[in-house]
Structure 1
Amino acid sequence: MNDTNTHVATREQNAPATAEAQRAETITLRPATDIHETKEGVTLYIDMPGVPKDALSIDVDQNVLSVKGAINLHTPEGLEPTYMDVHSGTFERHFTLGEQLDTQSISAELDQGVLKLSIPRSEQHKPRKIEVKVA
């Protein structure tokens, strides 16, 4: 990103190899994120497939934006998985926001597994035109 001082903390874990190990362990995933910047602010698109609205948590503390979500997949009764690519777990991502962003005005929208966070710039940091007066 340009000059917004928005940083992304990286966090990764290795997935267990067997279905049994996957069922026994909750995995924290780092969701894919796209960040777009305009004169008006910053927009984040965070992939959260399968995470319902009530399992999302979005918090800001001292300019650190934390996004967490949980997915809980159930194995149908009578079936025993032998291998699992898709499993229950949590999504978690942290972003350090620059001081020019207005953390009091963040909006969030979840659409088809993609969380959209819009973070406007503070009014004093938005570009503006200065009118020239004739004396």
Structure 2
Amino acid sequence: MTARQEVAKREPTEVQTKAREQELVLAPAVDVFENSHGITVQAEMPGVSKDRLNVQADRNSLLIEGDVVIDMPAGMEALYTCVQATKYRRSFVLSGELETDQIEASLKDGVLTVRIPKTAEFRPRKVEVRTA
């Protein structure tokens, strides 16, 4: 058996490679902040563009997903790469005091910022004091 045949024998098949790529998902580093008006989630997702980003929220969950695109120069093919996963995914359980209908998301410099306001009944309100 030649050296090339030996390497080919050890290389994973296309099906094995696709299955492995589907399993490997990166959990982005996340900071979560809360104030009296709601919560803010900031997730580091370098290499993810707006069109490859998926943010979903329902009553009690938030899902953040994004695909990294690695651009290759024209006419070149990668022979080896250290990148093991090209997908970010992170999910959170949300409390019932948040208004997921009013969610806002923005992406800047590889950082996704998601703002979810609290419902009016859970926001602090100022009580006017009258004098008698």
TM range (shorter): 0.7 to 0.9
More helix by proportion, 1 or 2? 2
**Aligned position for 1:81:** 79
Give the Cα–Cα distance (whole angstroms) in 1 for the partners of residues 78 and 64 of structure 2: 32
**Aligned position for 1:91:** 88
Equivalent residue pairs, number: 114
**Aligned position for 1:71:** 68
Q: Which has the greater radius of gyration?
A: 2
Give the deviation of 1:88 after TM superposition.
Answer: 5.1
What residue ranges of structure 1 are gaps of 5+ in the alignment?
A: 1-19
Specify which structure has the bigger relative contact order, considering alpha-carbon pairs within 8 angstroms and separated by 6 or more residues: 1
Whether contact under 8 Å (2:62, 2:94) holds in the other structure is: yes
TM-score by length of 1: 0.73
Give the Cα–Cα distance (whole angstroms) in 2 for the partners of residues 80 and 57 of structure 1: 27
Q: How does 1:1-135 map to 2 (within 5 A)?
A: 24=17, 25-26=20-21, 27-76=24-73, 77-82=75-80, 84-87=81-84, 89-135=86-132
Give the deviation of 1:75 after TM superposition.
Answer: 4.9
What residue ranges of structure 2 are gaps of 5+ in the alignment?
A: 1-10
RMSD: 2.2
